[in-house]
Amino acid sequence: MFEVDYRRSYSTLWKYVVQFLYNQDSPNNGKDGSCLDLPDSIQTRIVRVAAILQEALGQNVQREIDQSEIKHEQPTIRAVGFLCSNIIHIGPQYSTLIGSFRAEQEWHFSWEKHYPKPADLAILRAEADKYLSRLLNMGDEDLARIQAINSSTTVAWHVETDPGNPEPYLSSFFTEKYNEETGRLLAEPMICLGTNHLVALVPPTSKNGDVIVRFWRSSTAIVLRPVPRGFLEPIYALIGRAYVLSSEKTHMMLDTESQDLYATAQRTGRVFMDTDFRTLQAITASTCE
């Protein structure tokens, strides 16, 4: 029996409902502690579910958490996403791009280095024009959500990779990352260019070589960074939230029905991501569409 106590805070309600729905697909309703080994269906749609619930609660979840001291915890949620692009060029900050004609022109001229073929440039220009029109409609709250997220326990990996024990690698990575990026955390989002004709706003701590991951049937996007593990395949650490304009090709992948997920994954690079509720909330808070 599912009962909601409306005397609770919005953030507690959101977490309670997400946890309830997530655990429904567990053989023992999550009571045996196997929350990270649930069937593919809920892992595929949990990000979309979390976003819809936040929208239904009028974004009050975000406001409450902003005013609280809720901390990141150990991962209890596993989500499935797909690697849709590699960042190949970081451009200007948001306000510079919007407010300077020269910066916008220099940004456009930089594309040819990465997309020398006329056909690719034509596709990119069409995508970028649509993207710029959306950027002009973004408010301060939307921009604030495109931020670095300090979640040192969130980890992602390709489905064919064994993540092993990621803690030592993540600990070392975040120590180096903190020392390197202190001072840039509060800067504005940056525009970036990626493979597959992708244009996105990313956190100021993003850099070339980072990857952008999307989630099926959801507009949510995040930036991940490969973490080397010697001779083993790398795992990925969370850098932050991104805002991506979806191409028609990406929309097709996002709307793929569950029976086609494995076929789609082979083309797009399916990844698992283990995370906590605080991080899940941060990546699924609404942005303008």
Specify the pLDDT at position 180: 62
Query: Confidence class of residue 235 from pLDDT cuts 50, 70 and 90?
Result: very high
Average pLDDT over residues 151-175: 86
pLDDT tens digits, one per residue of 187-219: 789 999 999 888 999 999 999 999 999 988 788
Average pLDDT over residues 43-51: 88
Distances (CA, A) of 280 to 17, 40, 111, 164, 244: 13, 18, 33, 22, 18
The better pLDDT of the pair 80, 23 is held by 80
Which residue reads 């791009």 in tokens?
A: 97
Find, among 172, 194, 37, 45, the residue nearest to 111 by Cα.
194
Query: Confidence class of residue 241 from pLDDT cuts 50, 70 and 90?
Result: very high
Pairing between strand 198-202 and 190-194? antiparallel
Specify the pLDDT at position 219: 84
Distances (CA, A) of 58 to 52, 108, 112, 285, 286: 10, 37, 42, 10, 9
Two structure tokens written together for 239: 């850098």
Domain regions of the chain by residue span: 80-272
Distances (CA, A) of 85 to 35, 148, 205, 238: 29, 18, 17, 15
Mean pLDDT of the residues in the chain:
79
pLDDT tens digits, one per residue of 61-118: 777 766 565 566 777 889 999 898 999 999 999 989 888 989 988 998 999 999 999 9
Specify the pLDDT at position 188: 87
